[in-house]
Amino acid sequence: MVKLKARTSRFIHLFSALAIIGGLYIGYTIYFSNYIGVYNGLKDRVGHNAVVDNYEDAVEIAAEEFDLPYGYLMALIQLECGGKNPAGSRFEPHVFRRLKNVRDGKRTRYENVTKKHLSGASDEALRNLATSWGPFQLMGYKCILLNVKVKDIRGDNGIYYGAEWINRTYGDRLRNKDYKDCFHIHNAGKPYPKVGLPTTHDPKYVQRGLAAIKKHEDARQ
């Protein structure tokens, strides 16, 4: 009986210690994801100026064309490519594998992409579809929804087609100023979690975006 009580007591203490450590870790992670910090603050100031210099006019036209918030579009470009022109690209191996499985009949679809869309596509073509392009860093396969070519979303019309894709997929949320969900949808493919942590590539992505919107809107006044 004494040994049983001792074991039970040790288990309770161990469980309590793990619970405390887990709570501290979750609390720290939530704080970390909401605290922008000095480094990101400096980085975003540079990005703000670059977006204004390189994309301001094109964004104003696209924002009016699709009735989308100018500040959000500018902030999104700032987050996705740092305002650089050319914006660069990023290959996503996991997207390539999924698209290849769709093409080869091992998977029925990937988002709106079906085997019919990829019929006869080479591995090189799939690499382009599995790469993010342009100021908004749209994945190449997004061009299928827009009924355009990859070269269209990565070329001079990248702002226009990027804004069109945003309008089609979550434009109504933007017009309702649901910015938190919109940033998360663009980067992670789903709204901001109601419970738990963000799943964006940068845990500070959404908070940085919200701060950037205000700066871009204030700069226009």
Provide the pLDDT for residue 213: 96
Residues 6 or more apart whose CB falls under 8 angstroms from that of 220 comprise 70, 71
Distance (Å, rounded) from C-alpha 188 to C-alpha 2? Answer: 53
pLDDT over threshold 50, residue 23: no
The confidence score (pLDDT) of residue 3 equals 56
What per-residue confidence (pLDDT) applies to 101? 98
For the segment 141-164, the average pLDDT, to the nearest whole number, is: 95
So where are the chain's domains?
A: 1-34, 39-92+130-220
Distance CA 194, CA 201 (A): 18
Residue-level pLDDT at 24: 45
CATH class of 39-92+130-220: mainly alpha
Residue 32 CA to residue 203 CA, distance in Å, equals 8
Residue 94 and residue 115: Cα distance in Å, rounded?
17
Residue 10 has pLDDT above 70, yes or no: no
AA identity, residue 11:
F
Which of 116 and 31 is assigned the larger pLDDT?
Answer: 116
Structure tokens at 79: 């987050």
pTM of the model: 0.81
pLDDT tens, position by position, 123-139: 999 999 999 999 999 99
115 falls in which pLDDT band (50, 70, 90)? Answer: very high
From the CB of residue 77, how many other CB atoms can be counted at a distance below 10 Å? 31
